Structure 1
Amino acid sequence: MRRAVRLTLFGLSAVVTAGIAAFVFGEFYNLTAIRQHPLWVFRAIAVGRDTVVALDARDVEVPADFAPSADPEGVALYRKHCAQCHGAPGVAPAEFALGMMPVPSNLVAAARDRPPREIYWFIRFGLKMSGMPAWEMRMSDADMWSLTALVEALPSLSPADYAALAAEVPDRTDALVSVQSEAAETATDTAIGDPERGRIAMQVHACLQCHMIPGLVGKPDLHVGPSLGEAGRRRYIAGVLRNTPENMVRWIMDPQAVDPLSAMPDLGVPEALARDMTAYLYTISGRLPPGRSGTP
């Protein structure tokens, strides 16, 4: 009896495996961005996404004074960081977004269908494999709620109203200005930070675009910048700075000021997060920063 069950399970596994192989390698599934997902795939993804987001967003605490609101500062934030993909009242998305798959949704629909805590969840955490970025550690909490309030107000915002609000604040330097101020409140007088926070900061600042980083999943054979697994143990940072936590923070915040010939760009990392990244780089290299227990 047990042998029959095992044979049956083995047979089912073989059939499923063969089916998946035929589906993928037989070119039954088109991966190009000019072909939509089949309807059943699209709906399955939507059901799974909405279920998970609804569960996760239950832990989001909506500010007591929250209300849908359209103001110049919120519109300036939205125009700089959201309108390129999602468009705005009377404003088309940027050209690159028109060919994305899936197409970024018009947020009027999101405002009608989702409560504020879910809108905030998407802004803060982003969504894998959709093009939606995570703004955590790159935008202050106040700005994320300001964007949430604007999105919730979009159904009642006319193109003329949007244009008038946008004209009041013609330029927004960057969301990073506010997150730098927020991060500065937690800054200390040492270069020691939180390694776990540093790991997340390295992910949301796209360090994986150029580096292999232990603890983060990226392209396994990436050869742009050096692997950072031994960054904390090297004698010099970028071959020009003595390897100390203070110099590591300096390098992360403004590499071009240290070495104008370096290809590493300034990612706008605030000091507090640079300290966290430094702590993570020292930790994964096995060399804890001075001041932490267990330092060699």
Structure 2
Amino acid sequence: MRTGIAHRHKILFVSIGAIALVVMGAAAGAVVLLSGAYSTAATKQHFGITYRILELGLRFSVTRHADQIVVPDLQRVANVKVGYACYRQYCQQCHGAPGVARDPLGRGQLPSPSSLSESARDWPEAHLFYVTAKGVRMSGMPAWEFRISEDGLWSTVAYLKAMPFMTAAEHRALDASMTTETCPPPASAPRYSRENAHIMFRQYACDNCHIIGGMVGPNTHVGPSLEKWRERKYIAGVLPNTHENLVRWIVAPQDISPHTLMPDLDVIESHAQLMARYLMTTDE
């Protein structure tokens, strides 16, 4: 009996100690954060241990989440030229290519976008597909699944697997041979849900200008709040506030009101349908 009580006391003390360490760590982190001592400048590199932990976390996360992806026969469904069209349009600016330097955008980021010649050679096709489709949070790597079709994504993977074995001359020849190839956009939007609507708003950076009900984002007022949107009578003071008119507005606001500050964001209609449905049905 006494042994059991002593064992429970030991577990209690260990638990209290662990909780105390977590609280102290959180408090120390809060002090560093609120004091401004931690530099957020992109000119100051990470600690070596920070970089390694983030890199290791990325590999484990991708391995876990890409586990269920079935890799198709890339010889059948993929086209290296189409993959390069997607890569040239969306990836080359940050990652470069054989004999092609990154744009200043890609050179000035921290962490610096990796050279895909090594990653593409070492990573399995499923992992490359997952990262290309889903992106990498807080790294500057976007999710391309809402701008590139699934076949286009697999074609991009096929190009990535071929790229490490290209010379600069071979890559220039590939670039020169590009005539009609374009990067195919998605044929449709994902099924409607609140979560998918939130993803869509983030993919077009709507939450950087508007407060959107139910979403976590900056407290910004560049544009009007979109909360309780369905209660409004007009869109931009021009169109009656209906679902169809809202889709038209999201797709081409400058065509409807040339004086609006809202830019055309190249929103495809199926994505606009999903966003409009959320705004017209939510009470937030």
TM-score range, shorter chain: 0.7 to 0.9
Give the aligned partner of residue 122 of structure 2: 113
Q: Map 1:1-296; keep pairs closer than 5 Å.
A: 5=13, 8=17, 11-13=20-22, 15-25=24-34, 29-66=38-75, 71-169=80-178, 175=183, 178-179=184-185, 182-183=187-188, 194-196=192-194, 197-219=196-218, 221-285=219-283
SS in 2 for 1:203: helix
TM-superposed deviation, 1:9: 5.9
Residues 76, 170 of structure 1: 8 Å contact kept: no
RMSD, matched Cα: 2.7
Moved more, 14-23 or 151-160: 14-23
Distance 2:176 2:85 in 1: 9
Paired residues of 2:129 and 2:154 also in contact (CA < 8 A): yes
Aligned 8 A contact 2:78 2:154 in 1: no
Structure 2 stretches of 5 or more lacking a match?
1-8
Partner secondary structure for residue 212 of structure 1: coil
Q: Secondary structure at the match of 1:194?
A: coil
Q: Return the offset for 1:112.
A: 2.0
For the residue of structure 2 that corresponds to 1:267, the secondary structure is coil
SS in 1 for 2:185: helix
The two structures have a TM-score, normalised by structure 1, of 0.83
Give ranges in structure 1 of 5+ residues lacking alignment: 187-192, 287-296
The structural deviation recorded for 1:25 is 4.9
C-alpha deviation, 1:73, in angstroms: 2.8
Q: Which amino acid aligns with 1:200?
A: I
- Counterpart of 1:165, as a letter, is L
Task: Kindly indicate whether the alpha-carbon contact (under 8 Å) linking 1:75 and 1:162 is maintained by their aligned counterparts in 2.
Answer: no
In 1, Cα distance between equivalents of 2:246 and 2:36:
48
Structure 1 residues 230-258: Cα deviation after superposition (integer angstroms, max 9, x where no partner): 22221111111001111111111111111
Distance 2:208 2:180 in 1: 28
Residues 74 and 154 in structure 2, CA contact (< 8 A), matched pair in contact too: no
Percent of aligned pairs sharing the same letter: 37
Distance, in Å, in 1 between the alignment partners of 2:102 and 2:179 is 18
| 1:17–1:209 CA distance, 2 compared to 1 (3 A) | closer
Aligned residues: 273
The CA deviation string for residues 187-229 of structure 1, in whole angstroms up to 9 with x for no partner, is xxxxxx824333322221211121111232210x201111111
Q: Distance in 2 between matches of 1:65 and 1:14?
A: 50
Q: 1:52 to 1:46 in 2, by over 3 A?
A: same
The one-letter amino acid of 2:188's match is A
* Deviates further, 69-78 or 199-208: 69-78
Q: Aligned partners of 2:106 and 2:117: how far apart in 1?
A: 17
Contact (CA 8 Å) 1:136, 1:204: kept in 2 or not?
no
TM-score (norm 2): 0.86
